[in-house]
């Protein structure tokens, strides 16, 4: 499961590609199906982050980096992966 998470479900570039080229809803659905089969804390945190930011990410998937950084600071592995790639994908968060 660790290898699967590293290559897809907890991989920032994979999540960004899924959100950008598919829909955020299909990404959330894929994570929900996975979480029902394999209960994992990191997957649950990513799922919760995506569900909370679903409306914003539906309109602009490139906000994913700032959304994950803002919501998942306690998830160090994905946080550092996202932070190291931020200069490629970062768009300042939308302030309402």
pLDDT tens digits for 2-27?
777 777 777 888 888 888 888 888 88
Bigger pLDDT: 75 vs 66: 66
Q: What six digits make up the tokens of 26?
A: 């299909």
Bigger pLDDT: 23 vs 84: 23
Confidence at 32, pLDDT banded by 50, 70, 90: very high
Q: What is the mean pLDDT of the chain?
A: 77
Longest dimension (CA), the chain: 39
Rounded to two decimals, what is the model's pTM?
0.67
Classify 20 as helix, strand or coil.
helix
What angle separates helix 12-21 from helix 76-89, to the nearest 10 degrees? 60
Distance CA(39)–CA(37), nearest Å, equals 7
């Amino acid at each position: 499961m660790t290898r699967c998470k590293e290559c897809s479900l907890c991989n920032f570039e994979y999540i960004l590609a899924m959100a950008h080229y598919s829909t955020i809803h299909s990404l959330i659905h894929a994570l929900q199906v996975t979480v029902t089969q394999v209960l994992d804390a990191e997957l649950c945190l990513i799922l919760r982050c995506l569900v909370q930011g679903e409306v914003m990410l539906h309109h602009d998937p490139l906000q994913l980096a700032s959304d994950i950084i803002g919501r998942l600071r306690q998830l160090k592995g994905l946080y550092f992966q996202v932070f190291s790639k931020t200069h490629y994908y970062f768009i300042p968060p939308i302030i309402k």
